[in-house]
Chains A and B, each alone.
Chain A
Amino acid sequence: MKKMIALALACALSATLLAGCAMDDPQSSGASESTSGVGSGKREVNICSWGEYIDTSLIAQFEEETGIKVNYQTTDSNETLYNLLETTGWSGFDVVVPSDYMISQLIEEGRLAELNYDNIPNFAKIDDRFKNLSYDPENKYTVPYTWGTLGIIYNTQRVTEPVTWDLMFDPDHAGDVLMIRNSRDAFGIALMSLGYSVNTTNEEEIRQAYERVAQANKDGVYQAFVMDEVFQLMESGSAAASTYYAGDYLSMLEANPDLAYAVPESGSNWFVDAMCVLKDAKNKDEAEEWINFLCSTEASLANMDYIWYASPNKEALEKYPEYYEETYGEPLDEELYEIMAAPQGVLDRCEAYLVLPAETRTLYNDLWTQLGVAG
């Protein structure tokens, strides 16, 4: 599924590139705003998010309520998203939903528009815990969408507990482990297994982390590097362990009850994905309307139920167990709820990703290429 989207995107990209060249002139002559004007009757909003990251009926509901056409696309990682934005000239999308560290980078580079929070009254419903976080200290650019932890998903039939990060490098499980296919998480896991900070800029520590992943890859520990392919492989039992996000674990659990999730005692990463509007967005009003819509308690509840990622909407978060019981006629397992919405005790041992300086990002990218080249 991911791949299809990737290829479709690649095609879309080449088309946009050409279109971009041809259409630069009329836009720079100042006529661009009229195309998205309210009176034209063709309101639309272009969104780029992650795969399996929204209750799709919400899109239809939004279109029906507002008459705004939603063009919804997905990518599979923050790095891919960044490059997609780069190739579409930073104006192909209105709303994006990057993670914390990528948001910092986008703010730093001046890519994001300051939001008009008057147009997003539902922002008031967001729990104060998720406002003014380090990636957007004055909360001028973002509205949090989901949050959660990174952890180990494992098959209890084949992996002995307790699990630590070493599982991700264990030759005893050769061919049975899935490593995540993005440099930040993959090297982050190795850094955590070595007891270093995920935000280290020390080249020596990052190289050690690379060696750890490269050695495991050489030893055949990894069945594959995956993003959303992880769903199928873990659900069918074709792999015994992987690192992925808490919400996605809960989706997999519905298909395979042998799966378990753990945030290692030594700590992990916790993340916030937030909605932002690009500075060069063509449909800023529509973008804010969309953001406001998704912040509502109803939409947040529907989303939580569909994608199993915790919402930062305080009311929705508190109401969810009740909502679940009403919808399914059985109480929500406390343990599952705590995996979705990690209690403060778990968050305390987790570290959020911070934006890395440019030279460290280059190092990450070079090492990531080297990893696949070496094989």
Chain B
Amino acid sequence: MRNKLSWFAVPYVVWMALFTVAPVVMVVIYAFTTSTGGFTLDNFARMGDFAVVFARSFQMALIATLICLLIGYPLSYFMAKEGPSFQKVATVLIMLPMWMNFLLRTYAWVSILENNGLLNRLFAAIGIIDLGNLINGGLNSLCAWLNSGVLDWLNGMLGTEFVLNTARATDMTYFRMLYTQGAVVLGMVYNYLPFMVLPIYSVIVKLDNSLLEAARDLGASSSRVFRKVIFPLSLPGVLSGVTMVFVPSVSTFAISKMLGGGTKLLLGDLIELQFLGGAYNPYLGSAISLVMMVIVVVCMYVMNRFGEGEEQAVML
């Protein structure tokens, strides 16, 4: 018999049908349609032209996800080990930035990172930029010395022509930070880190302490307890964290446009360009979105399968 309370789910089901299912169906339909309404696969045939953009986006999203994991896991682990009042404060601090609009937060990075921005002015004031020039100068002379000495000899022996770069800038007045790929990755990490920390934290904090005690009773060292018990059991949190960071990172267009400068398009930019840029081509835009979604879903599926295996191994 159906639960009578299930009627309360109706608003959400309607919501999801309208704003999740319907748009996805529209994307699929558009992807296979020509501008005159006929069926076509041409939109997908053009996908090869955009392979570079796919590679660029997935690479940057992957780097951002890895950094989030490397920062987020230890943070969640130690948070979960602290007392409840510390946990409360830490959770609020992690959530705090999310109370402000994400575009405003990202835009703030422009004035922090720009060539004459806050960070560069700070670096100049405390001599870090001069230090950079000094190091570059040192490296230049070192490379020049190696070029004329060891490398000359090596090239002579091997018949090769290795030369080390001796043209590092020694007259920098700022570090180029804004409008680099690094800035985009920074933007992704900054915006999505909470989505990595919170799921991992909530899994670790609920770990059954008796399992850890049992492991220690059986003589496992603390590093072994972590490797064999805690980490495998926290994997569901890691997996949802990875998903929640990777998926928005791979499709972002706001972050890459604001911090990346648009000289190298990411997937989100490319799709946006089809809808709002010069070329109004929702059919191609939908096809690119669809391919992106399929790749992401496949990635997630493979990862989850891999995760399940791990969990079961632990259970046994």
Q: Are B279 and A366 touching (Cβ within 8 A)? A: yes
Q: How far is the CA of A233 from the CA of B52 in the complex (A)?
A: 29
Q: Does A49 contact B (CB under 8 A)?
A: no
Interface residues of A in 208-258 (CB under 8 A from B): 217, 222-226, 229, 232-233, 236-239
Instruction: List 24 A-B pairs, Cβ < 8 Å.
Output: A18-B18, A18-B22, A83-B275, A83-B276, A183-B278, A217-B263, A224-B178, A224-B179, A229-B110, A232-B114, A236-B115, A236-B116, A237-B115, A238-B114, A238-B116, A238-B117, A239-B115, A364-B278, A365-B278, A365-B279, A369-B278, A372-B264, A375-B56, A375-B265
Q: For A239, list chain B residues within 8 Å (CB).
A: 115
Q: Are B107 and A4 touching (Cβ within 8 A)? A: yes
Q: Are A373 and B116 touching (Cβ within 8 A)? A: no
Q: Does B111 contact A (CB under 8 A)?
A: yes
Q: Are A232 and B115 touching (Cβ within 8 A)? A: no
When the two chains form the complex, which single residue of A1, A79, A237, A375 contacts B277, counting CB atoms closer than 8 Å? A79
Q: For B114, list chain A residues within 8 Å (CB).
A: 232-233, 236, 238
Q: Are B278 and A372 touching (Cβ within 8 A)? A: no
Give the segment of B144-152, B159-167, B199-207, B254-262 that binds chain A.
B254-262
Main secondary structure of the interface of A (DSSP, over half): helix
Among A1, A87, A365, max chain B CB count under 10 A is at A365
Q: Does A321 contact B (CB under 8 A)?
A: no
Q: Are A225 and B261 touching (Cβ within 8 A)? A: yes
Q: For A232, list chain B residues within 8 Å (CB).
A: 110-111, 114
Q: Does A173 contact B (CB under 8 A)?
A: no
Main secondary structure of the interface of B (DSSP, over half): helix
The 9 lowest CB-CB distance pairs between A and B, nearest first, are A224-B261, A375-B264, A365-B279, A372-B265, A238-B115, A225-B262, A238-B114, A79-B278, A224-B179
Q: Does B189 contact A (CB under 8 A)?
A: no
Q: Does A6 contact B (CB under 8 A)?
A: yes
Q: For B275, list chain A residues within 8 Å (CB).
A: 83, 87
Question: Within the complex, what minimum Cβ distance (angstroms) separates B269 from chain A?
Answer: 7
Q: How far is the CA of A123 from the CA of B38 in the complex (A)?
A: 47
When the two chains form the complex, which single residue of B107, B178, B260 contacts A1, counting CB atoms closer than 8 Å? B107
Q: For B258, list chain A residues within 8 Å (CB).
A: 3
Proximity string of chain A (357-375) to chain B, C-beta cutoff 8 Å, 1 when within and 0 when not: 0000010111011101111
Task: Report the nearest B residue to A18, measured CB to CB.
Answer: B18
Q: Does B228 contact A (CB under 8 A)?
A: no
Q: For B208, list chain A residues within 8 Å (CB).
A: none
Q: Are A372 and B280 touching (Cβ within 8 A)? A: no
Q: Are A10 and B278 touching (Cβ within 8 A)? A: no
Q: For A182, list chain B residues within 8 Å (CB).
A: 278
Q: For A31, list chain B residues within 8 Å (CB).
A: none
Q: Are A3 and B257 touching (Cβ within 8 A)? A: yes
Task: Report the nearest A residue to B49, measured CB to CB.
Answer: A373
Known contacts A6-B276, A86-B280: A373-B263 contact under CB 8 Å: no
Q: For A217, list chain B residues within 8 Å (CB).
A: 263
Task: Report the nearest B residue to A80, measured CB to CB.
Answer: B276
Q: Are A374 and B52 touching (Cβ within 8 A)? A: yes
Q: For B56, list chain A residues within 8 Å (CB).
A: 375
Interface residues of A in 163-193 (CB under 8 A from B): 175, 181-184
Among A14, A79, A369, max chain B CB count under 10 A is at A369
Question: Within the complex, what minimum Cβ distance (angstroms) separates B293 from chain A?
Answer: 17
Q: Are A4 and B111 touching (Cβ within 8 A)? A: no
Q: Are A372 and B269 touching (Cβ within 8 A)? A: yes
Q: For B107, list chain A residues within 8 Å (CB).
A: 1, 3-4
Q: How far is the CA of A217 from the CA of B101 in the complex (A)?
A: 32
Q: For B104, list chain A residues within 8 Å (CB).
A: 4
Q: Does B53 contact A (CB under 8 A)?
A: yes
Q: How far is the CA of A239 from the CA of B107 in the complex (A)?
A: 17
Q: Does B176 contact A (CB under 8 A)?
A: yes
Q: For A120, list chain B residues within 8 Å (CB).
A: none
Q: Are A7 and B270 touching (Cβ within 8 A)? A: no
Q: Does A82 contact B (CB under 8 A)?
A: yes
Q: For A14, list chain B residues within 8 Å (CB).
A: 23
